[in-house]
Amino acid sequence: MLEFINRIFGRENHSSRNVAKERLRLVLVHDRAGVSPELLQTLRIELIQVISNYMEIDENALEVSLDSNESQVALVANIPVKKMKRTMQTETA
């Protein structure tokens, strides 16, 4: 029913067709770049470590992915910040 209402109000972008297209596009960016999920996971963990030195972040909401337009591939990281730290505190210090 909700789907039907969405259609009536023209929320085309949420149609399963567009969802499929977008998911396919992102999967192919990863496939074509030859980046393994393990590599991205490692990158994610190291990003958390480095950034946590400077600010408090929401680790669970952090998203790391590849995206592309026609000519180039970009690494996109969406990192929600909970709190800034006033001084740098490294774990080794």
For another protein, the binding residues (CB under 8 A) are 7, 12, 15-18, 20-21, 23-25, 27-28, 31-32
Q: At closest approach, how far in Å is the CB of 28 from another protein?
A: 5
Nearer to another protein, 40 or 57 (CB): 40
Q: Nearest distance from residue 72's CB to another protein, in Å?
A: 16
Q: What whole-number distance in Å separates Cα of residue 17 and Cα of residue 53? A: 42
For residues 73 and 20, what is the distance between their CA atoms, to the nearest angstrom? 20
Between 36 and 53, CB nearer to another protein: 36
Given a contact cutoff of 8 angstroms between Cβ atoms, the answer to whether 79 and 59 are in contact is no
Please say whether the dihedral angle defined by the alpha carbons of residues 52, 40, 65 and 60, taken in this order, is positive or negative.
Answer: negative
Nearer to another protein, 31 or 91 (CB): 31
Q: Whole-number minimum distance, CB 23 to another protein, in Å? A: 6
The phi, psi pair for 84, rounded to 5°, reads: -85, 150
